[in-house]
Amino acid sequence: MSFEDNIRKVVPYTPGEQPKRKVIKLNTNECPYPPSPKVFNALEDFDASHLRLYPDPECTGLVNSIADYYGRKPEEVFVGVGSDDVLSMCFLTFFAGKKPILFPDITYSFYEVWADVYRIPYKTIPLKENFDLDDEDYMIENGGIVIANPNAPTGVSEPLEKIEKIIKANHDSVVIVDEAYIDFGGETALPLIDKYENVIITRTMSKSRAMAGMRIGYAFGPEKLIKYLNDVKFSVNSYTMNMPALIAGEEAMLDKRYFEQIRDKVVATRERSKDMLKKLGFTFRDSKTNFIFAKHERVPAKYIFEKLKEHDIYVRYFNKPRIDDHLRISIGTDEEMDELFKALETILQEA
């Protein structure tokens, strides 16, 4: 018997590379533009002497600003340290049964990690060959369901009718709809929390609101489910959000005009990038996110990935079955994307 027998061992989530030098970074789906000027102003005015105090454990200002923006009640909103923290709390709170939870085989790879950490049995459901989700696959006994919509890393957005069909058919399980990328396209499931008691919708400020460095995530759900989430949160750590993040998050949520401007810029660049990638011989499903999941007709993805790094351009390559012939390319500024296309032309000509 060794002390190591009592240690919880898991295979951790692997994030995209974070180069310590200046590169064109298109591998972690960050926003290429800065946050709202109101965020900068609020942080400049922040009195650092307040850091001696604990932050508001109920995150009142941030919760109210989110609720007001989406026309929901504060009791229907939960916040956490990025959507990863929110999703982790959801797994811990809602998946305490013995039946396996279900999620696609090609999706956000953190789902498997949380299931392993919390000792939650799970089953991955294969997507179709074209990366579509088959709702009939989720009409089986389960302890919960997680669906990213639009999905990552595929970028595919499923119709709301399909999502609702899954929620309606699984009234004995909590269904989490991970909407990290919903601001860039697709149809939100938010109205479904008024129709069903078993749905949670998670969001993030890391993508469309340019706040990845502040780590702010949130969730919507029926009041009962949000209360359960808060009960677990307050049993683990009451003070999850720090003061600067609470202030910055509230200001970012209030600046609707700026949010819409940078979101629209990313979407416009994404649509232009689709045309350019097609001309270079790439194929992909139509993306409703801030990235494109693309496969070249002739040149292996790993080769392109390595060659792009020689040009100081980082994209994401997944050495996994079914997707190891694809690259996930985050949408940068127009100038960054032009540099990408220029490098790709050279690499493909030389291959």
Q: What pLDDT, in 10s, does the model give residues 292-304? A: 999 999 999 999 9
Asked if residue 13 has pLDDT above 80, the reply is no
Output the six-digit token pair for 344.
């790709």
Q: Mean pLDDT over residues 188-210, rounded?
A: 98
Distance CA 223, CA 231 (A): 12
Distance CA 250, CA 65 (A): 6
* pLDDT given for residue 333 in this prediction: 98
106 and 152 assigned to the same domain: yes
pLDDT in tens, 47-78: 999 999 999 999 999 999 999 999 999 999 99
- Provide the domain limits for residue 245: 47-255
Q: Is 121 helix (H, G, I), strand (E, B) or coil?
A: coil
Asked if residue 342 has pLDDT above 80, the reply is yes
> Which strand (E) or helix (H) includes residue 292?
strand 291-296
140 and 111 assigned to the same domain: yes
182 and 278 assigned to the same domain: no
Nearest to 184 by CA among 263, 242, 92: 263
> Which strand (E) or helix (H) includes residue 245?
helix 243-254
| 61 neighbors 295 (Cβ within 8 angstroms) | no
Asked if residue 3 has pLDDT above 80, the reply is no
Distance CA 284, CA 262 (A): 24
| 217 neighbors 82 (Cβ within 8 angstroms) | yes
Average pLDDT of the chain, as a whole number: 96
79 strand-pairing partners: 218
Asked if residue 226 has pLDDT above 90, the reply is yes
* Distance (Å) of CA 21 to CA 17, 25, 30, 313: 12, 10, 17, 11
Q: Residue 38 falls within a domain, yes or no?
A: no
pLDDT in tens, 298-339: 999 999 999 999 999 999 999 999 999 999 999 999 999 999
Of 240, 255, 270, the one marking the end of a domain is: 255
> Which strand (E) or helix (H) includes residue 204?
strand 199-204
Number of domains the chain is built from? 2
Instruction: Return the ∠ at Cα 222 (arms to 218 and 224), rounded to 5°.
Output: 105
pLDDT above 70: percentage of residues in the chain? 99
Give the DSSP letter of residue 126: P
Give the DSSP letter of residue 15: P
25 and 109 assigned to the same domain: no
Q: What are phi and psi of 329, to 5 degrees?
A: -110, 110
195 and 308 assigned to the same domain: no
182 and 64 assigned to the same domain: yes
The CATH number of the domain holding residue 84 is: 3.40.640.10
pLDDT above 90: percentage of residues in the chain? 93
226 and 90 assigned to the same domain: yes
| 39 neighbors 252 (Cβ within 8 angstroms) | yes
pLDDT in tens, 133-190: 999 999 999 999 999 999 999 999 999 999 999 999 999 999 999 999 999 999 999 9
Count of helix runs (H) and strand runs (E) in the chain: 10, 13
Nearest to 306 by CA among 351, 273, 349: 351
> Which strand (E) or helix (H) includes residue 202?
strand 199-204
Output the six-digit token pair for 224.
């009962």
Give the DSSP letter of residue 80: E
The CATH number of the domain holding residue 8 is: 3.90.1150.10
237 and 89 assigned to the same domain: yes
| 326 neighbors 287 (Cβ within 8 angstroms) | no
Of 220, 255, 290, the one marking the end of a domain is: 255
58 and 120 assigned to the same domain: yes
Q: Read off the pLDDT band of 253 (50, 70, 90).
A: very high
Give the DSSP letter of residue 98: S
Output the six-digit token pair for 320.
């996994």
Of 234, 255, 276, the one marking the end of a domain is: 255
Asked if residue 5 has pLDDT above 80, the reply is no
Asked if residue 17 has pLDDT above 80, the reply is no
214 and 338 assigned to the same domain: no
* pLDDT given for residue 60 in this prediction: 97
